[in-house]
Amino acid sequence: MLSLLSLRKQIDAGSLTPREAIALSEAAIAEREQDIRALVSRDLDPVVPERGPLAGIAVGVKDILDTAHLPTQMGSPIYDGWRPRADAAAVARLKRLGAVPLAKTTTTAFAFLDPTQTRNPRHPGHTPGGSSAGSAAAVSAGMLPLALGTQTGGSVIRPAAYCGVVGMKPSFGLLPTVGMKCFSWTLDTLGLFTAGVADAAHALALMTGRPSLDLPTTEPGTPRIGVVLQDFCATAEPEALDALERVRTATEAAGARLRDLVLPAVFAEAFGLHGTIQDFEAAQALDWEYTSHRADLGPLLGAHLDAAQGVSPKSYDASLKVADRARQQLADLFAEHDLDVILTLSAPGPAPEGYASTGDSRFNRLWTLMGVPCVTVPVGSTPAGLPLGVQIIARLGDDARALTAARFVETLMGERHC
């Protein structure tokens, strides 16, 4: 995989020019894209800035984010060839930092569940996940050092785990969603895919103008970790549980303090109401597409929006109140148990075989609803070579702590698998 920080180190040292760094991505795309199918469109003659903290960094932009120089097609024939006049705010920021938005990456239609044609680079017979399929796959395949994705349920964390890369879903609102096709304004969150945790931290620090989000240069100490299995969900597959146990063993051996947590009942209630909030908002956010182009929606999305018409404002309002109570209790839970982060599963298991499904987001939806920062860390593979990941979660607004703990886990598990 291409590392953002490694490329920048070479550029700063003078051993690589920004144009040469972009050429590395272009060469990898030429070699692998035909098999992976992660890209929708590409800038064939990019302008490459010579200066800027992200000069020489090629970026993949999920195709529900506006780009003025490339079509934004939402994964749907409804927007075939559509060209916005302006970049999404996050894309504009990356350009100002010197990065090159080199390609648009595949998305399920309107970031829902109808699968794309993208293949999992680590195991082509299995899904790369979704909805940010192309972004996860492009980074995993070494075609791009940085890619943007979005998460409404589990669309950053899950595909990152399936493809064996780092996925970062920041705190809700930390990255702007201006210029992104809305599915649910309460849940939609912009996220990042990178080769390593340090890459994600550096990119997020630059994109937000918050240097404190970058990883510390001094030893941060060992984290205090609460382990959560979400006992109100269906049990995870043995491979995922084994990976979580390996992380527990490694972190405890390194001096971290771990304790098992059973989430109070309000979290199970909130988990069950994620869909009510999402669907009520999706029915409004996609009202034009639904009323004007129902036949052109994907089969899963079309049927889902049919059902979503029946979600009442009363149910929606009640669900928001439950979510607010859960958010308040989550902050109390961190304080009561003196925790830095929560450790849990990124997905129920490795990437499912075939392409009919993008996988199950049951270990992501609650945390998206809570708005908290989440990081997927790759922690090895199954005997068949399918990547596995675990998820690190911190308090709302404590993205730096989530990234620092994720780096702690990444370092330990990298040492155990090298």
Is 361 labeled as catalytic in the residue annotation?
no
The catalytic position among 62, 95, 104, 169 is 62
Domain ranges across the chain: 4-213, 224-266+318-417
Q: Is the dihedral of CA 7, 13, 18, 19 positive or negative?
A: negative
**Is 65:88 a contact under the CB 8 Å cutoff?**
yes
Q: Mind listing the pLDDT tens digit of every residue in the chain (418 residues)? A: 999 999 999 999 999 999 999 999 999 999 999 999 999 999 999 999 999 999 999 999 999 999 999 999 999 999 999 999 999 999 999 999 999 999 999 999 999 999 999 999 999 999 999 999 999 999 999 999 999 999 999 999 999 999 999 999 999 999 999 999 999 999 999 999 999 999 999 999 999 999 999 999 888 889 999 999 999 999 999 999 999 999 999 999 999 999 999 999 999 999 999 999 999 999 999 999 999 999 999 999 999 999 999 999 999 999 999 999 999 999 999 999 999 999 999 999 999 999 999 999 999 999 999 999 999 999 999 999 999 999 999 999 999 999 999 999 999 998 554 3
Q: What is the CATH number of domain 4-213?
A: 3.90.1300.10
Residue pair 343/391 in contact by the 8 Å Cβ criterion = yes
| 131 carries an active-site annotation | yes
d(CA 104, CA 69): 10
Strand 224-228 to 58-62 pairing: unpaired
* Residues 75, 63: Cα–Cα separation, whole Å: 7
224-266+318-417, CATH topology level: Amidase signature (AS) enzymes (3.90.1300)
For the question of residue 171 being annotated catalytic, the response is no
The residue with tokens 């549980």 is 241
* DSSP code at position 211: G
Same fold for the pair 4-213 and 224-266+318-417: yes
Of 131, 135, 171, 319, the catalytic one is 131
Tell whether pTM > 0.85. Answer: yes
**Given the residues 155, 319, 346, 361, the one annotated as active site:** 155
